[in-house]
Amino acid sequence: MRIAVIGAGTAGLAAAQALAARGLDFVIYEAGSQLGGNWRWNNDSGFSSGYRSLRANTSRQHAAFRCFPLPRGGALFLSNVAMVEYLKSLA
């Protein structure tokens, strides 16, 4: 059985990480040309509510995946650009 993950934003990548950790077969479908979901400003998917000055409202310690910590240093609350870079590294 193959599992479909809809969207390559934070939630979709979290789902993919959990599926991969369990050795399950999955494929991610993303409407946009790049991952990032709402974090990607001007996402060409037509579904993003992100905006140029978007910042996380949780600290970097709470925004990171347990399996893939953010590098030390940097802003306490990530910008959308920093979050997209982090998600690309995670993927």
pLDDT at 48 over 80: no
Question: How many structural domains does the chain have?
Answer: 1
Cβ atoms within 10 Å, residue 85: 14
Torsion sign over Cα 34, 39, 49, 11? positive
Q: Which domain holds residue 24?
A: 3-90
Give 43 or 56, the one with higher predicted confidence.
Answer: 56
CA nearest to 80, candidates 60, 52, 61: 52
When mean pLDDT is compared over 19-28, 42-51, 54-63, the highest value belongs to 19-28
What is the average pLDDT value for the chain, to the nearest integer? 92
pLDDT computed for residue 47 by the predictor: 78
Instruction: Record the pTM.
Output: 0.88
